[in-house]
Amino acid sequence: MGVQCSKLTVCCWNSQFKASVLEAPDVENDEKSEADCLPVFREFTLEQLKNATSGFAVENIVSEHGEKAPNVVYKGKLESQRRIAVKRFNRMAWPDSRQFLWTTISVSFINDLWRCTLPLAPDTISCVYFLVLQEEARSVGLLRNNRLANLLGCCCEGDERLLVAEYMPNETLAKHLFHWETNPMKWAMRLRVVLHLAQALEYCTSKGRALYHDLNAYRILFDEDGNPRLSTFGLMKNSRDGKSYSTNLAFTPPEYLRTGRVTPESVIYSFGTLLLDLLSGKHIPPSHALDLIRDRNLQMLTDSCLEGQFTDDDGTELVPSHVLMGIPHSASVSPLSPLGEACSRRDLTAIHEILENLGYKDDEGVTNELSFQMWTDQMQETLNSKKKGDVAFRQKEFRDAIECYTQFVDAGTMISPTVYARRSLCYLMSDMHQEALNDAMQAQVISPVWHIASYLQAAALAALGMENEAQVALKEGTTLEAKKNATAAQK
């Protein structure tokens, strides 16, 4: 198999360990077509991202960072069923607007600003700064490559600053390399990480994005097929103090320590520290690694878990990443539960029976009527409308059920994902498919990990003729239900 190596990967192929599992067959053409199918970069509204992340629910937090770069990354899902990662910044996380203007906007533009006869108001400076920020995001958003977790959009609304990227569901390199519980990462997979990372950096360089800020094991993510990808978040400077590195000084490129600026050499240095990470299975400071090499103490530098995984054979075995990572393949279909089967077939009668038997069991933990001991007249009236809706639902009088459930929802004194789920089915029964989808999505906003909401979304999407999106929602429902059952089994 011929592989065109980048400059960054030459050192890997000079190694005596040639029999590495590098690529799966036909991966280049497949990945090119997948990248071409990605949507163009766009601006999202805050409301869209709130809905996608269930109101930035704690259950959807993927990662958090400390005071040096205070931000939170959430997983979410758009109306199209595309999974996304949303990076939400604290208002103090971005560089100071005046400093940013000096370092980012062209000198001629700054000179034009200073020629103004009136002093610039802080709001004006902030406005200009955020325009530049949006342009920076748009520039990164032009990149499209299957070695990247591609940037899909941004949101600059009010005091909110958010970036939106593809969601990578299988953790970070740091998790698999440093914090594994049962199976250490295989040598072949480590070499594949090196190759994919080098290709990602080379692609970015070819597109004029040679600088990467704070390249480390947390910036490498794994997609649903177990393939490593480079986060595009690191292509933008976004720390509180405008600095590009938040890691320990022992891992910071020496030229950055001297100048405070990222250079192409800084990226190569950080790439080298990642090679040490992959070889050792530990986060060894480069200076310490040099001492070990000078002392010929290579055993201390090599991960003991890799013993017996090296070979001098020239042959290569084509094994997909998901096999090496022990990740179920995305194309494999888990057996569907009765509700999943019913939603897959759009068997509305069977869905109705299952929801009726389930009752309000999954509303536990949600503020509803069970949480109140005393009722005002308004609360009692609201409760009565829900009860009337339940009676109509049971008797399959779906139009009446819609009316009663709507009265309950519009009152706004209580929330219930089950009510939204039941009204969603009532809408399906009444051929009001878009309304059914809206309610199913609202149920998941209230209860982000509720599998029934995903199943109902699948049924509604299929009714709308959106078969691909329906399959995605069906798969998500299966995954959420499996996690719920596994958690219950452990208790």
The pLDDT tens digits for 291-301 are 777 767 677 77
Q: Output phi, psi for 101, to 5 deg.
A: -60, -45
pLDDT recorded at residue 12: 38
Question: Per-residue pLDDT tens for 170-181?
Answer: 899 999 999 887
User: Rounded to an integer, what distance in angstroms lies between the CA atom of residue 473 and that of residue 471?
Assistant: 5
CB 448 within 8 A of CB 60: yes
331: pLDDT confidence band, cut at 50, 70 and 90?
A: low
pLDDT-derived band at 349, boundaries 50, 70, 90: very high
Helix and strand numbers (H, E) in the chain are: 21, 9
Query: Of the ranges 6-15, 110-119, 370-379, 451-460, which one carries the lowest mean pLDDT score?
Result: 6-15
pLDDT at 105: 40
Partnered with residue 168 across adjacent β-strands are none
Query: If pLDDT is split at 50, 70 and 90, which confidence band does 350 have?
Result: very high
Check residue 168 and give its pLDDT: 93
Question: What is d(CA 297, CA 20) in angstroms, rounded to the nearest whole number?
Answer: 24
Residue 96 has a pLDDT of 41
26 tagged catalytic: no
Cβ atoms of 52 and 76 closer than 8 Å: yes
What φ, ψ does residue 167 adopt, rounded to 5°? Answer: -90, 130
- H or E segment and range at residue 42: strand 42-43
Residues 343 and 47: their CA atoms lie apart, in Å, by 28
pLDDT > 50? residue 369: no
What are the pLDDT digits (tens) for 143-197? 999 999 999 998 888 778 889 999 998 899 999 999 887 888 998 899 999 999 9
From the number of C-beta atoms within 10 Å of its C-beta (0-12, 13-18, 19+), residue 195 rates as buried
Which of 30, 159, 214, 313 is flagged as catalytic?
A: 214
pLDDT at position 8? 42
Q: Is the pTM of this model over 0.75?
A: no
Delineate the domains of the chain, giving CATH numbers in brackets. 1-329 (1.10.510.10), 338-490 (1.25.40.10)
Residue listed under structure tokens 């536990």 = 364
Residue 7 token pair = 């400059």
- What secondary structure letter does DSSP report for 172? B
Between the two ends of the chain, the Cα-to-Cα distance in Å is 49
Q: Give the pLDDT mean for 334-354.
A: 88
Residue (of 234, 233, 197, 202) closest to 215 by Cα position: 234
Predicted confidence band at 220 (pLDDT cuts at 50, 70, 90)? very high
Question: What pLDDT score was predicted for residue 243?
Answer: 60
